[in-house]
Amino acid sequence: MKPEVQKHVEYASGYLDLRMYDDAVQEADLALALSPNLSQAIALKSAALWQANRLSEAEPVVAKLAELNPRDAGIWINLAYIRRRTQSLDAAVDTLQRAFDANPKDALAHYNMACYRAKQQRPQEAIEMLRNALHLDPKLKALAKAEPDFSELRLSPAFQQLLKGR
């Protein structure tokens, strides 16, 4: 990485640590002007926008990061989260499918799909996806017990049995 690009990346990172989000975005943009596909600068910009709760602005930045790193399920999960809030639940589901393409055994992808299916009033699919998530990462059970997206599933015997571990 060229020294000038490195300087802007370091400044963006420092501003992000200080919660100076506008300055972090500005420095990331300066780095990107010199190196347009630099994943590190794109990630810093997306983090600053996300933490500033500027999700509509973060969406195309995270989308670019996902396209540059198609095998990173975490980026696709984050992009699905953003699209759920800025576009639609269907857009989030479509995006989350890319996380499965990147890593079919990503527990958080299964968990998030369970949330989305629950919100889409598809309880059987939601429970199956949650079952997969808990199989891959049993620690998610504590999160599932408090998950607001599962509020309508809580009375389901299958959901209750799943959280009991039977």
Yes or no: is domain 88-166 CATH 1.25.40.10? Answer: yes
98, 76 Cβ separation under 8 angstroms: yes
Q: In this model, does residue 151 exceed pLDDT 70?
A: yes
Domains of the chain: which residue ranges?
1-69, 88-166
Residue pair 163/144 in contact by the 8 Å Cβ criterion: yes
Domains 1-69 and 88-166 share a fold: yes
| Percent with pLDDT over 70 in the chain | 99
pLDDT digits (tens, 9 = 90+) for 76-115: 999 999 999 999 999 999 999 999 888 999 999 999 999 9
pLDDT at 166 over 80: no
Helices (H), 18-156: 21-34, 39-51, 55-68, 73-86, 89-102, 107-119, 123-136, 140-146
Q: Does domain 1-69 have CATH number 1.25.40.10?
A: yes
Q: pTM for the whole thing?
A: 0.89
